[in-house]
A and B are shown apart, each in its own frame.
Chain A
Amino acid sequence: MGIGREDALDALDALDALDALDALDALSGNDALGGGGGKSPLTTEALITNRDGIVGARMGDIQKPVIGAGNDVRNLSRLSRRVRGAVYQAELGPTVDITVNMDDPCLPVATVWRKIEDNGGATRKLCLEPMVTMTRPTVTQLSQQLKLVLGYARIRPDRGAEVLSQVGVPMAFFSSIQFMDQQRTPYTMELLMTALGFAFPVIQRVKYALAVKRPIEFSPQVQPMIPTPTHGSLPSGHSTEVFVMARVLWKLLMESGAPQYNDRALWGTMLMRQAARIATNRTVAGVHFPVDSVAGEQLGLTLAEHFYSMCCGGNWVSSTFDGPNFDATQDFDWHKLYDPDGDKQAETAETNGKVWATSKVRTDNKIDAAPALAWLWGKALAEWQDFGPCDCE
């Protein structure tokens, strides 16, 4: 799957990875130095006359450069962030596929498949394993959930600033927990935006498959405090994305070896609380049912695990969300699907004997990490590793 710039889509207003990478480019200083040659007519004209002035007669034989290193991650640091982003997405996109089972038109089932490469090189033979299977809830269930949406409207005045600030990528909120900054941790932010850029088309395709209507279509009293996005309600894109962010960040911290980050699971718990609050704020705003956040959490956690395996290899997770089995009187409770202590997704989540979510750690059909992504992970991880023991204290 590929991704291009889609400024026209409302959803990309929220989490457009490539736009954000552009912003990083701007901050790199290249533009300020005129490095974005060709963008300025004045500079272009100047370069033409300048060449005319200094080029001189054609030179004789010149020593040839060393041939470029093909498929070599050493090239990555010489690429612009936007170009690197395209490379990452080219690696990630083909690793998943999505199908929709419409045997029961009332209950479409979307499956996100993980592609397993059997042999590389000039020829490819692929097999597929289901990674996320998601069945949409019934309209009756959503009608029941509407009571929660209307109830949450009561705290809109209290959450207004948060809701508006979290329409876009809520980097500031995660940065307030985990010390991120464009200058301090540029690769971590690049890593996150890469994960989001990968997740976005998956989310949209699943939403499109399940076509769950928004709360605003269930009652004239919802009256959301922000415009309702035009895409489907379940899974919540924000929920998916923030749980991707939270889990990826938590994995970085755990791997960093820094003692404070490995004190119980305090950082991980706080990152998940942050993700849950952002997801819930979409219900407060009136654009999501709580069950959308539940499904989004399951999708986000699973995609994060897949993303991690693409960066570092190793196990992966397959999971399900069975909407009709979800108790529609229940609110969103993130603990039911995940425990940051040990970085574990719940094997089953059930209410009154009905299993509505499952997950399984898969040790089979592993695929190798993509070198470009492994490079990025290594760069990001280094931003969290201490320089070494200090005997100052």
Chain B
Amino acid sequence: MAQHKDDNGFDPETIVDHVTFFRLNAAGIQSVVRSETVWWSVLIELDGISIDQFVDRIRERDYDTFLIVPAAYDSDDRSVVLPFQPVTVFATTDLVQYLNDDRSDLGVATLRVGGIIDEMFLNPDAQSAPLSDIDVAAGTVVQAFVDDGMGIAHDLFRSGPTSSRVYFAQIFDAVPLPASPTSIGRTLERDDINALLTDCTYNGVLDEELFYTRSGQVNLAEDVFSTVANRASHGTHVMGLGAGHEMSGGVDDRPIICAALPSRVVKDTSGVDLLPLVYLSFHILVKQARRFRLPDGGLAPVVFNFSYGNLEGPHDGTGIYATMFERYFGPDAQACAEQPQKAWLTLPAGNANLSRLHAVNGRGLTDTRIKLDLVVLPDDTTPTHVQFWMPSSGPTNPPNFAKIKVRSPFGTSTISIKAQPGQAAEITNDNGARVAWLAYRYVGGTTQRGLVTLSITPTASVEEISDLAPAGIWTIKVRRRAPAGDDPIHIWVDRDDTLPGHGPGGRQAFFDNPDYVRFGPFGAPLPVDPPGTDCPVRRSTTISGFSCGPSPIVVAAYTEQEAVLSDYSAAGPLNPSPHMTPPPREGPDLAARGDDSWVLRGVYSAGSRSGSWVRGSGTSASAPQVARLAAGEIGTSTVDGRTWAQDAVRTHPFALEDSPSVERAGDGGIKLPDGGP
């Protein structure tokens, strides 16, 4: 192995996003990404220009055939100019490379590349269509879900055999229908779903295999796969907890709208980031939610649930997800709207409490130097990414807060950089291929922090590729420098796990420091960091990176029979920031049932097929239960979502015997009055 530093034939300072740079340039996926037909979902943040102006600039540079702006952005969206406007687009590899070059001067402030989008799912000719109003009865509350594997035909989401409660479904992984008003996948309106239900019902029995084939969610011949083909699917389980009602009950005041995120693309071994499609999902569903009109002309309230989590920083309420959710659910969303609509969002706290994916330098540590043993597993076919978030600083001339050193397994190669603009280093293997990339960039906006990213290539591949990284313990040293003062440097490992049987086969890297105490004196896992520990690897601040903003209702999970917070339920506190004082939250707002007992993990909810029930565990399961309760009360509530959640804990208390801290359980446990679907 050899180290090459600042000797790459380019200026690292010109790279807008280093993870994007790493993913697009990994030798192992060159054969995939170099194809002109490979399209990526990309989230760009436009800096003071409209979408139309951006498209004009792209056209001027002859890249317009490599760009699709989704039809979900209507003419109003395209003409508006905002200081910073996140927009999801689809772009080919060449254009993504161009966008990721700061010198391109396209008005793109930041960029995040998502996953590869199969060309068969794209419809570049789609045109935005006007959205008609849907008149609903007084008391109606819309429920919105962004998830994957959405069993929209399940009887819990129907009010009759061929009458769906799902009024809109965006299916990203589906071959578009002709004249479809969506640029990706398929949209199904309630009439479409009802027609499918009718077509697929024989002798009074719905053939759901056929339904999901015809809805486009499953097409095994074309490798179009959704977990609705399996017995259990995450989205169906979550939606069942949040909005499932007995079909015979005839519930008609809880219409559902949903977006089904794609399953991971098997051939995309560059690492998958769903951010662009999550952003697009919310953009689409927020518009859809505004179609529901009450008899008095007002907009029906809406409760969103998004049972996903990640560990992305900066965990201070200024991150890209927090910003997105504030845009749709914060106080400004109401103030800016032409007609206000009461909208709440429930999010899970995350399940990473015991996953050893977070470390900190600072916050009570006596030494200014920490050493982390990062275990990168063999047979990991996706990259490993680690984020190092520096203390907050001013918008210009960020101080050199730290020096970061990385050594490959067995000490064969070491690189280090300072936390300063332009700093980047790589580790190459004996073939001369880059296997690790360590780079610094400054994140502006309201975040105003330096970010160092460490990206490591996969350790395994079924292809003959040159840039496999060695599996084993990668040693990371982070040395704080004086300008950091007492402010902590936080380090998070990105989520990288893949369920067995699903592509592309990532394996989760984690910190394995010898002084991390995993178990208590009686052998049970320790759910909180031992008092006074000097170990930099921490359970604290493992709360999901999605759940750090001020407005969402964030839900932890408890185990009902033992009446304790579930060990995996992730915790705060947030990372302090002078730009967000006081911190928007200490941790989750409340805790709901995530497990029936230590033995009976998870809670029952809808399986993929009508009439079936499966167990699902985690804060993914606890959040939609709160969404269910919220849907029943948002219509009459006069306060914001989080305040309602505080009141709800008092109204429907569930006593937790382990007395978890505010950082783990917020205001405490809640017992749903009707027990769920």
A contact set with B: CB distance below 8 Å:
147-148, 150-152, 154-158, 264-266, 268-270, 273, 280, 329, 331, 333, 335, 339-341
Contacts of B221 in A (CB 8 A): 147-148, 151, 329, 331
Instruction: Report yes or no: A264 in contact with B229, Cβ–Cβ below 8 A.
Output: no
Residues in chain A near residue B222, CB distance under 8 A? 147, 151
Query: Could you tell me if B501 and A157 are in contact, using CB atoms closer than 8 angstroms?
Result: yes
Whether the pair A268, B230 counts as a contact (CB closer than 8 A) is: no
In the complex, chain A residues whose CB is within 8 Å of the CB of B223: 147, 150-151
The answer to whether B220 touches A265, judged by C-beta atoms less than 8 angstroms apart, is no
Assess the B203–A154 pair: CB atoms within 8 A: no
Cα–Cα distance between A154 and B222 once the two chains are bound (Å): 12
Check if A151 sits within 8 Å of B203, measured CB to CB. Answer: no
B500 within 8 Å of A by Cβ?
Answer: yes
- Chain A residues, Cβ within 8 Å of B220: 147-148, 151-152, 154, 331
With a CB–CB cut-off of 8 A, which chain A residues contact B219?
151
In the bound complex, residues from chain B placing their C-beta under 8 Å from that of A335 are: 202, 207, 210
> A154 with B231: in contact, given A265-B203, A331-B220 (CB under 8 Å)?
no
A to B contact number (C-beta, < 8 Å): 55
Give the shortest distance, in Å, between B267 (CB) and chain A (any CB): 14
B599 in the interface (beta carbon within 8 A): no
Q: Which residue of A lies closest to B223 (CB)?
A: A151
Give B195-222 as 1s and 0s: 1 = Cβ < 8 Å from A's Cβ atoms: 0000000111101011001000001111
Check if B145 is an interface residue, CB within 8 A of chain A: no
> Quick check: A273 and B500 within 8 Å, CB to CB?
no
Q: Cβ of B168 < 8 Å from any Cβ of A?
A: no
Name B224's closest neighbour in chain A (CB-CB): A151
Are B203's CB and A266's CB within 8 A? yes
Contact check, A331 vs B230: say whether CB atoms are below 8 A apart. Answer: no
* Whole-angstrom CA separation of A147 from B220 in the bound complex: 7
Bound-complex Cα distance A265 to B205 (A)? 9
Interface centre among B203, B223, B501 (most CB of A within 10 A): B203
- 5 A-B pairs besides A154-B225, A158-B229 with CB distance below 8 A are A154-B501, A155-B230, A269-B202, A270-B205, A339-B202
Is A266's CB under 8 angstroms from B231's CB? no
User: Which residues from chain B contact A329 at a C-beta distance below 8 Å?
Assistant: 221
Check if A151 sits within 8 Å of B225, measured CB to CB.
yes
- Structural contact, A264 and B203, CB atoms closer than 8 A: yes
The answer on a CB contact under 8 Å between A269 and B205 is yes
In angstroms, Cα B221 to Cα A331, docked, is 8
A55 to B478, CA, bound (A): 102
Q: Which residues of B contact A264 (CB under 8 A)?
A: 203-204
Residue of A147, A151, A339, A340 with most partner-chain B CB within 10 A? A151
Chain B residues within an 8 Å CB radius of A266? 203-205
B224-237 vs A, Cβ < 8 Å mask (1 yes, 0 no): 01000111000000
A273 to B201, CA, bound (A): 12
Q: B residues near A, CB below 8 A?
A: 202-205, 207, 209-210, 213, 219-223, 225, 229-231, 500-502
Task: Enumerate chain A residues within 8 angstroms of B203, measured Cβ to Cβ.
Answer: 264-266, 268-269, 339-341
**A270 to chain B: closest CB distance in Å?**
7
Given that A155-B230, A265-B203, A268-B203 are contacting pairs, would A333 and B225 also be in contact in the complex, using a CB cutoff of 8 Å?
no
**Closest CB of chain A to B81's CB: distance in Å?**
45
Instruction: Please judge, given known A-B contacts A151-B220, A266-B204, A266-B205, whether A333 and B210 are in contact too, CB under 8 Å.
Output: yes
- B205 contact from A152, A154, A273, Cβ within 8 A: A273
Distance between Cα atoms of A155 and B608 in the complex (Å): 13
Q: With a CB–CB cut-off of 8 A, which chain B residues contact A156?
A: 501
Which 10 pairs, one residue from A and one from B, show the smallest C-beta to C-beta distance?
Answer: A151-B220, A157-B501, A265-B203, A158-B230, A147-B221, A269-B203, A148-B221, A269-B205, A341-B203, A155-B229
| A291 → B minimal CB distance (Å) | 12
Taking CB atoms, residues of chain B closer than 8 Å to A158 are 229-231, 501
- A sample of 23 inter-chain contacts (CB < 8 A) reads A147-B223, A148-B220, A148-B221, A150-B223, A151-B225, A154-B225, A155-B229, A156-B501, A157-B500, A158-B231, A158-B501, A264-B203, A266-B203, A266-B204, A269-B204, A270-B205, A273-B205, A331-B220, A333-B210, A335-B207, A335-B210, A340-B203, A341-B203
- Closest CB of chain A to B326's CB: distance in Å? 38
Query: Which residues of A have CB within 8 Å of B502?
Result: 154
Most A CB contacts (10 A, CB to CB) among B204, B221, B230, B501 go to B221
Write the nearest CB–CB distance from B615 to chain A, whole angstroms. Answer: 15
- Which residues of B have CB within 8 Å of A341? 203
In the assembled complex, the Cα of A181 lies from the Cα of B93 at a distance in Å of 62
* Bound complex: CA A150 to CA B230 (Å): 16
With both beta carbons as reference points, the residue of chain A lying nearest to B501 in the complex is identified as: A157
Inter-chain CA distance A157–B210, complex, in Å, is 21
A333 to B221, CA, bound (A): 14
Taking the closest CB of chain B, its distance from the CB of A17, in whole angstroms, is 30
Closest to A329 in B: B221
Assess the B500–A154 pair: CB atoms within 8 A.
no
Contacts of B229 in A (CB 8 A): 154-155, 158
**A243 → chain B, closest Cβ, in Å?**
16
Q: A residues within 8 A CB of B225?
A: 151, 154
Complex: how many Å from CA A265 to CA B201? 12
CB neighbours of A151 from chain B (8 A) = 219-223, 225
What's the nearest-Cβ distance from chain A to residue B210, in Å? 6
Closest CB-CB distance, B365 to chain A, in whole Å?
Answer: 43
- In the bound complex, what is the Cα–Cα distance between A327 and B231 (angstroms)? 28
Does A331 lie within 8 Å of B231, measured CB to CB?
Answer: no
- Bound-complex Cα distance A270 to B204 (A): 11
**In the docked arrangement, what's the CA distance between A208 and B143, Å?**
57
Closest to A340 in B: B203
A341 to B203, CA, bound (A): 7
A335 to B205, CA, bound (A): 12
Which of B202, B223, B229, B502 is packed against the most chain A CB atoms within 10 Å? B202
- Bound CA–CA A340/B204 (angstroms): 12
CB distance from B226 to the nearest CB of A (A): 10
Q: How far is the CB of A74 from chain B (nearest CB, A)?
A: 40
CA distance A156 to B502 in the complex (A): 11
Q: How far is the CA of A154 from the CA of B218 in the complex (A)?
A: 11
A341 to B502, CA, bound (A): 39
> What's the Cα separation between A151 and B209 when bound, in Å?
14
Q: Which residue of A lies closest to B230 (CB)?
A: A158
What chain B residues lie within 8 Å of A147 (beta carbons)? Answer: 220-223
Bound-state CA distance A158–B219 (Å) is 17
Q: Which of B207, B225, B502 has the most chain A CB atoms closer than 10 A to its own CB?
A: B207
A258 to B516, CA, bound (A): 68
A154: chain B residues at CB < 8 Å are: 220, 225, 229, 501-502
A320 CB → nearest B CB, Å: 23
Contacts of B202 in A (CB 8 A): 269, 335, 339
Distance (Å) between the CB of A391 and the closest chain B CB?
30
Shortest B266–chain A CB gap in Å is 9
Q: Cβ of B501: which chain A residues have Cβ within 8 Å of it? A: 154, 156-158
For A148, the chain B residues whose CB sits under 8 A away are: 220-221
Q: Provide the bound-state CA to CA distance between A265 and B204, in Å.
A: 8
**What separation, in Å, do the CA atoms of A331 and B502 have in the docked complex?**
22
Closest chain A CB from B60 CB (angstroms): 42
Q: Which residues of B contact A331 (CB under 8 A)?
A: 213, 220-221
How far, in angstroms, from A273 to B229 measured CA to CA in the complex? 16
Give chain A nearest CB distance to B207 CB in angstroms: 7
Query: With A and B bound together, what is the CA distance between A152 and B219 in angstroms?
Result: 10
Complex CA distance for A268 and B204, rounded to whole angstroms: 11
Minimum CB distance partner of B231 in chain A: A158
